[in-house]
Amino acid sequence: MNSNSSYLSGLSRRVLLSGLAVAPAVIGPLRSTPASAQGGDPLPSWNDGQAKQVIMAFVQATTTQGSPVFVPPEARIATFDQDGTLWVEHPMYSQVVYCLERVPAVVAKKPELKNVEPFKTVLSGNREAMAKLSLRDLEKILAVTLTGMPVEEFNAEAKKWTQSAKDSRWKRPYTDLTYLPMQEVLRYLRANGYKTYIVTGGGQDFVRVYSDQVYGIPPEQVVGTAGGTKYGYDKDGKPFLTKEPKILLNDNNAGKPEGIHLMIGRRPYAAFGNSTGDRQMLEYTWAGDGARLAMLVLHDDDKREYAYGPAQGLPDTKVGAFTQALYDEAKKKGWTVISMKSDWKRIFAFE
Amino acid sequence: MNSNSSYLSGLSRRVLLSGLAVAPAVIGPLRSTPASAQGGDPLPSWNDGQAKQVIMAFVQATTTQGSPVFVPPEARIATFDQDGTLWVEHPMYSQVVYCLERVPAVVAKKPELKNVEPFKTVLSGNREAMAKLSLRDLEKILAVTLTGMPVEEFNAEAKKWTQSAKDSRWKRPYTDLTYLPMQEVLRYLRANGYKTYIVTGGGQDFVRVYSDQVYGIPPEQVVGTAGGTKYGYDKDGKPFLTKEPKILLNDNNAGKPEGIHLMIGRRPYAAFGNSTGDRQMLEYTWAGDGARLAMLVLHDDDKREYAYGPAQGLPDTKVGAFTQALYDEAKKKGWTVISMKSDWKRIFAFE
């Protein structure tokens, strides 16, 4: 990879010098025993390299008592984008697949939609025509498949789908397609007192359905694009919430720091993303005092997963674009770009 | 002082935990021991009576392995209204006092407001005229004192105020005016694996400033009336969030279950309130399966605190009204009404 040395210098300024200057002296009386000290490499699916070193140096520096950049346990917040950062997002976000696959069931209940676009095209099964649907069309599909029903009905449907639907390339449930190296980072951070959050452009309610099972992250630690709900009563007077077609939080771009403030109320110390939609979350995290960790996954592995940018001459994409401008900002600021190809020894747990 | 010995057991545990933070070996064995198992009464400021029994029976039933209504630790969510439930709300919500007291500083920065109502009236200091301000006037004052500034500037101002402002009756910081019996319930629930949340009609950002210090509840476990923020950059390119005069969540009445869904994503097992603004939160909690706890504090103690209803013939109020209809619903459904006068042995820690 090209000139990694320039962000090595940024790294040593931010983390290594401040943290490691005291680390040797205080490694003995560690307050809580980090996973790494329990024997064994906490990140075995990572190749030894700069990205792995940055993560481990950050954790050491911020959790070692006496370190000048020590972070008290209650302030240890780490945020992770989901699609493309924690699991596969190509060829299409799994939630969009869910919405498209829900259309027949919705039309069965609302037959008046049968001959109306964009539902007619989706029902036709013509993939070429579906690929041409506009953003406005997609919004109509999302609105009708994600709203208008009781919260508990939605949860049950989404849960059923995530347990049965399979990705067409790996023939496995989408929930299997999480990156093993990132699962290790989640566990490593948690073992060191960090509270891990998902901060996703995807639907908050959708991701909450499986976040605990897939990532060990409870629903209340999922921040996502969120719609309003409406409180009401059924015919027996039992209260329930209905999902409304009204967006309260568009958790993308500037919406990510805004969502973090709304839902968490503190600035993260570590943030992980993979696309331009994560830029502001990383900026906001990085702008805090002390040691901060800002990392971006670059999908440069067309053999084991997918290759897309358009940064670094990789193919362009509409799903999870990592622009050259983002790459340049990362290098300039000292954020770390994770190369899937060279930093990750393994991609999935099942392979 | 009355029966401090049992209360000391809870206190000493708290002091020990903070004091021994540097001695890791001692924290482990203490951390997982529930207060009730330490041999003392976990609710020493409560008189023996139905309310105390209901709380203890609920905790026993939902946390004892093998119980038919056992709740797994990750699902143990308890929500508490703040004003009038956890601390004093009369004669006026402390946040409203904050907003009124901020007016001179705001006008100093925006002199054009000096001769404009309702600011002119507030600046006059005429309490009789201030008491006649309309809801619309109050909203103008809240908007100008709670929004339009960077989040961190607001946090610093609110923190400074809560550390210095005093209630006129007890001549003590508002943060001292929390109900000792409710502090015991918070600790008792947490010691038994419950995650405690504040769900307040007050400002989410305002309450988050002191929630950890006053209640041991971290900012991310405060759900309140929440405005939007706007992400931007200062002249040096450093990002920051500005508080916007746009309400995302009005966390009162039906807004409470809606806010719980948005911010927590699960139905609570226990909910505590004191006014009609809490009715839907209690209904929503109560409508879940298994054992649920729904409790309402009735302010019927005009000697030690205040007496207001209008339930049960108590004086009517505009601040935290507990109507007869709510009282009747509670009785009909089996919710528990806590009588401040007869259920609470002590009201405050300082008395």
Q: What is the percent of chain A with per-residue pLDDT over 70, rounded to a whole number? A: 89
Helices within chain B (DSSP H only): 4-19, 24-31, 50-63, 94-109, 119-124, 127-131, 135-146, 151-164, 180-191, 204-208, 211-215, 255-263, 279-286, 324-333, 340-343
Whether pLDDT at A9 is above 80 = no
Q: What is the percent of chain B with per-residue pLDDT over 90, rounded to a whole number? A: 86
What is the rounded CA–CA span in Å between residue B10 and residue B21? 17
Q: Of A74, A218, A239, which is closest to B280 when you measure between CB atoms? A: A239
Q: Of B195, B231, B254, which is closest to A280 when you measure between CB atoms? A: B231
Look at residues A140, A144, A122 and name the one whose alpha carbon lies nearest to residue A131.
Answer: A122
Distance from CA of A339 to the nearest CA of B (A): 27
Q: Of A219, A248, A257, which is closest to B265 when you measure between CB atoms? A: A219
DSSP string covering B52-73, please? HHHHHHHHHHHHSTT-TT---G
Query: What is the phi/psi pair of residue B66, to 5°?
Result: 95, -15
Q: Contact A226/B262, CB-based, under 8 Å? A: yes
- Band (A21; pLDDT cuts 50, 70, 90): very low
Least confident of A22-31, A148-157, B54-63: A22-31
What is the rounded CA–CA span in Å between residue A178 and residue A174? 8
Q: Contact B266/A219, CB-based, under 8 Å? A: yes
Q: Is the dihedral of CA A311, A316, A318, A320 positive or negative?
A: negative
Whether pLDDT at A275 is above 60 = yes
- Band (B38; pLDDT cuts 50, 70, 90): low
Which residue of B258, B329, B335 to mutate against A (max A Cβ within 10 Å)? B258
Q: What is the pLDDT of residue A101?
A: 95
Q: Of B151, B261, B264, which is closest to A229 when you measure between CB atoms? A: B261
- Using CB atoms within 10 Å of the CB of residue B2, give its burial: 0 to 12 exposed, 13 to 18 middle, 19+ buried: exposed
Q: Contact B261/A74, CB-based, under 8 Å? A: no
Long-range contact pairs involving A159-164 (C-beta distance under 8 Å, separation at least 24): A159/A209, A159/A210, A161/A98, A161/A101, A161/A102, A162/A98, A162/A209, A162/A210
Assigned token pair, B256: 């409470």
pLDDT digits (tens, 9 = 90+) for B142-196: 999 999 999 999 999 999 999 999 999 999 999 999 999 999 999 999 999 999 9
Q: Do strands A239-249 and A222-233 pair parallel, antiparallel, or not at all (unpaired)?
A: antiparallel
In angstroms and rounded to an integer, the radius of gyration of the C-alpha atoms of chain A is 21
pLDDT digits (tens, 9 = 90+) for A59-90: 999 999 999 999 999 999 999 999 999 999 99
Assigned token pair, A105: 């069931």
With vertex at residue A251, the alpha carbon angle to CA A249 and CA A253, rounded to the nearest 5 degrees, is: 130
Residue B53: how many other CB atoms lie within 10 Å: 13
Smallest CA–CA distance from B216 into chain A, residue = A74
Residue B266: in which H helix or E strand, if any? none
Q: Which residues of B touch A231 (CB under 8 A)?
A: 254, 257-258, 280, 284
With vertex at residue A32, the alpha carbon angle to CA A29 and CA A34, rounded to the nearest 5 degrees, is: 100
Assigned token pair, A249: 């939080």
* Tally of residues, chain A: 351
Block residue for tokens 């300024």: A13
Q: Are the C-beta atoms of residues B55 and B188 closer than 8 Å to each other?
A: yes
Q: Which amino acid is at A60?
A: Q
Q: What is the pLDDT of residue A60?
A: 98
Distance from CA of B129 to the nearest CA of A (A): 35
Q: Are the C-beta atoms of residues A234 and A213 closer than 8 Å to each other?
A: no
Q: What is the pLDDT of residue A18?
A: 37
Residue A318: half-sphere exposure toward Cβ, Cα within 13 Å: 6
Q: Contact A262/B74, CB-based, under 8 Å? A: no
With vertex at residue B253, the alpha carbon angle to CA B230 and CA B100, rounded to the nearest 5 degrees, is: 55
Distance from CA of B332 to the nearest CA of A (A): 14
pLDDT digits (tens, 9 = 90+) for A213-262: 999 999 999 999 999 999 999 999 999 999 999 999 999 999 999 999 99
pLDDT digits (tens, 9 = 90+) for B190-233: 999 999 999 999 999 999 999 999 999 999 999 999 999 999 99
Question: What is the crossing angle of helices B94-109 and B135-146, to 10°?
Answer: 60
Q: Which whole-number Å values give the CA distances from A350 to A83, A91, A172, A178, A185, in the listed order?
A: 19, 20, 10, 10, 18
Whether pLDDT at B16 is above 50 = no
- Average pLDDT rounded to a whole number, residues B14-38: 35
Block residue for tokens 């329930």: A240
With vertex at residue B111, the alpha carbon angle to CA B109 and CA B113, rounded to the nearest 5 degrees, is: 110
Whether pLDDT at A194 is above 60 = yes
Q: What is the pLDDT of residue A35?
A: 45
- Band (A131; pLDDT cuts 50, 70, 90): confident
What is the rounded CA–CA span in Å between residue A336 and residue A289? 18
Block residue for tokens 């009517």: B316
Whether pLDDT at B31 is above 70 = no
Look at residues A258, A230, A222, A285 and name the one whose alpha carbon lies nearest to residue A62.
Answer: A285
- Which residues lie across from A272 on neighbouring strands? A80, A295
- Band (A3; pLDDT cuts 50, 70, 90): very low
Look at residues B200, B345, B223 and name the one whose alpha carbon lies nearest to residue B274.
Answer: B200
What is the rounded CA–CA span in Å between residue B216 and residue A9? 40
Whether pLDDT at A45 is above 50 = yes
What is the rounded CA–CA span in Å between residue B114 and residue B256? 36
Whether pLDDT at B28 is above 70 = no
Distance of CA A45 to the CA centre of its chain: 19
A25 vs B97, residue with greater confidence? B97
Whether pLDDT at A347 is above 80 = yes
Q: What is the percent of chain A with per-residue pLDDT over 90, rounded to a whole number? A: 86
Whether pLDDT at A96 is above 90 = yes
- Band (B39; pLDDT cuts 50, 70, 90): low
Q: Which residues of B touch A263 (CB under 8 A)?
A: 220, 263
Omega before B181 within 30 of 0, i.e. cis:
no
Residue A12 DSSP label = I
Query: What is the phi/psi pair of residue B38, to 5°?
Result: -85, 5
Distance of CA A179 to the CA centre of its chain: 11
Look at residues A303, A299, A334 and name the one whose alpha carbon lies nearest to residue A320.
Answer: A299
Q: Are the C-beta atoms of residues A310 and A321 closer than 8 Å to each other?
A: yes
- Average pLDDT rounded to a whole number, residues B301-327: 97
Q: What is the pLDDT of residue A23?
A: 36
What is the rounded CA–CA span in Å between residue B316 and residue B273? 17
Name, in order, each residue with C-beta under 8 angstroms of A306's C-beta and a sequence gap of 6 or more. Answer: A88, A90, A299
- Average pLDDT rounded to a whole number, residues B7-27: 28
Q: What is the average pLDDT value for chain A, to the nearest integer? A: 90
Assigned token pair, B284: 């929503």
What is the rounded CA–CA span in Å between residue A204 and residue A183? 20
pLDDT digits (tens, 9 = 90+) for B81-139: 999 999 999 999 999 999 999 999 999 999 999 999 999 999 998 989 988 889 899 99
Q: Are the C-beta atoms of residues B329 and B279 closer than 8 Å to each other?
A: yes
Whether pLDDT at A11 is above 50 = no
Q: What is the pLDDT of residue A38?
A: 52
What is the rounded CA–CA span in Å between residue B121 and residue B278? 32
Q: What is the pLDDT of residue A149?
A: 97
Omega before A42 within 30 of 0, i.e. cis:
no
Q: Are the C-beta atoms of residues B298 and B339 closer than 8 Å to each other?
A: yes
The three-class DSSP label of residue B247 is strand
Q: Which residues of B touch A208 (CB under 8 A)?
A: 265
Residue B104: half-sphere exposure toward Cβ, Cα within 13 Å: 5
Assigned token pair, B141: 């004052």
Q: What is the pLDDT of residue B131?
A: 85
Q: Contact A258/B241, CB-based, under 8 Å? A: yes
